[in-house]
Amino acid sequence: SLLVVYGHPNEEERILNLYEGFRYLQNSEYTVTATNFRWPTPWLPTREKARIGYISWEGDASLLSDGEALIFEGRELSDDMNPAGNQFNSKSSVNRDSYSYGIDFDVYDTEVVQWIFYAPTVTTTYRAGQDLVLLNAEILVVPTLPVSDLSIAMTRAAGALQVGGKATYTLQVTNNGPYTEAGPVTVVDTLPAGMSYVSASGTNWTCSSSGQVVTCTYRASMAPNTNASPLVLTASVTQAGSLTNTAQVSGTTDNNASNNTASDTATATAPVVSASGYRFTSKACDANALIDTPACPLYDATMTGGASAAIYVTAVSGNRAIALSSTQETTVPMQFSLSCLDPASGTVGASYAGATLPVCTPNGAVPPVTAASSWSSSVNMKFASGKASAAINTAGAAIPPQAVFGYADVGSVQLNLLAAGKTAATEPFVARPLRVETRNITNAAGGANPKVNNPDGTGFARAGEDFNVEVVAMLADGKTLAPGFGKEKTVPQLNFTHTTAAVASAPMADAGKLAWSNQSRNGNVFSAQLNYSELGAINLEPGLTDYLGSGAVGGTPVVVGRFYPAYYTTTVTTPLACQAAMNCEAAPSPVNGAAYSGQTFDVEVKAFNAIGEGQPLKNFTGAWRKPV
């Protein structure tokens, strides 16, 4: 069946809803409810025109028993071709005939009631008795006021949340149309327990707070497909644990509530206070150096999962590094553990100072000192005389052995130590992938990518047709998959770039456009649907826009191709018009001209992609213009 939707500027504003499926009905009923429109609220009931159409499969004129009905807003619809109780009867009110045996397509002009006491909701019920009916489609047209679909997105500034610190959120409101939002637009942000309001501001925004609720109003209008100026909200972190900030937007004409809410979840950790007399630092510190300064920075760096990082244990007193002895080497027994923040838990242990650490404790928790199974075996950390850090080196070692940390996974983690019954911890830091790579690139039919970059090789997908790409994260060796990738609470977003990959003998005139959607994850594999708008072949490079605040992650390019036309059109231009003896049909007609035998005539073949109604292919030229 073909559904045609048209619009006209002189028509009253209406909204069209389409249900499409294959709903099985037998001794049952199915109700379709529509709410995505706005109505006026008159004090007296007002009746307005509506129209409903459907396509169903069954359609024989006879009934077994119990009847069939189409009920709109509590009233059974019927007419001279569809009597009450025999709705699906092989007769079409569209064509006014009974020649569509096995299928019913009917249209009813009806009405809805608008009233201040009625919500803008419309229900349609399809009911069948013993006859089997398959509901294929419902097309509902009802009046509506102009609507503006508002949506909101929330991003948090990079960096871990820590008690005593601040969290900064940027809220972006978008009007997805189709009409201008006159305003005001209101954003209500509900801070979690564990945060307190500091400030909120943005051009044309005014804000106030009451407890955990921050209310901001945008006074300017918003044209379709535009953004309001960014709203920046800052809160202080007052307690540790998982904290979720949620914001909701509302306007004067919004008809879609599904995209009106955004949230961000992160784990806040307690401030690192070294009761043990030791801190983790990024370098070997000299005695008397100030802690958390360039002379003795605390460790909070980003590392590559599967690689080695240099993390030093430094003795401290107050806010300065100290030497444990000025005359001799000092040995201090210590144990170490790992805490996972995002993902909240892990499956892989780490190593530090030559010791194997147990699998991390979840949600950023430091294990109790009595939880022996959560700590490593004891390590004798050696401090040279006059030195504040355990950094005695082995000849030729890039990192002193007692400062080597390794973690064969990715995520936000925290390294802990236990000495003399006291604990200390690093700031949370990120182990990130070395790169991401594609895996299992397949076309819509499940066929594998042949990696063809010339016009004569095996075709892969139609230009503009969706194809599927799986993406995995690699550890530092470039061979091992990161097991925790895909379990992050802050979901990494895939990004793809491309360049042309055609052989030199068959250059591509246009680089084309690459689009992707439907990102999903299964275990440690991400997937997405992509389409490429042109003929030819591309070097496809995957990436991540950001990984847990550590920045973008690049990928390894792979050749994808060959992409070929979705369809062709042929235009024939003849030297003669249709002759009288040819009895040509009135235009449009498959025969619209003539030529004498042996006389030349013009044929133009164009190639198109599969995007929308089809777009002409710019690369359908040269070596890529294949015979049809």
Domains and CATH numbers, the chain: 14-143 (2.60.120), 148-269 (2.60.40.740), 278-430 (no CATH), 435-564 (2.60.40.10)
Provide the pLDDT for residue 592. 82
Question: Among 337, 330, 417, 321, which Cα is nearest to 382's?
Answer: 330
Burial (CB count within 10 angstroms: exposed 0-12, middle 13-18, buried 19+), residue 488: middle
Show the tokens assigned to 28: 């049952």
pLDDT class of 105 with cuts at 50, 70, 90: confident
Predicted confidence (pLDDT) per residue in 414-461, tens digit: 999 998 888 999 989 999 999 999 999 999 999 999 999 999 989 999
Provide the pLDDT for residue 627. 63
d(CA 159, CA 428): 9
Provide the pLDDT for residue 215. 98
Instruction: For the chain, give the percent of residues with pLDDT over 90.
Output: 58
Provide the pLDDT for residue 65. 59
Predicted confidence (pLDDT) per residue in 29-57, tens digit: 999 999 888 888 889 988 999 999 999 98
Give the highest mean pLDDT range of 49-58, 155-164, 462-471: 462-471
Whether residue 488 has pLDDT greater than 80: yes
Residue in the block written with tokens 């995505």 = 36
Provide the pLDDT for residue 452. 92
pLDDT class of 273 with cuts at 50, 70, 90: very low
Distant-in-sequence, close-in-space partners of 55: CB < 8 Å, separation ≥ 6: 1, 103, 104, 105, 136, 137
Question: Among 578, 514, 500, 508, which Cα is nearest to 542's?
Answer: 514
Strands 161-162, 261-269: pairing is parallel
Predicted confidence (pLDDT) per residue in 472-485, tens digit: 999 999 999 999 99
Predicted confidence (pLDDT) per residue in 328-355, tens digit: 888 888 999 999 999 999 999 899 999 9
Predicted confidence (pLDDT) per residue in 123-149, tens digit: 999 999 888 899 999 999 998 888 899
Mean pLDDT of 506-520: 91
Dihedrals phi, psi of 387, to nearest 5 degrees: -110, 145
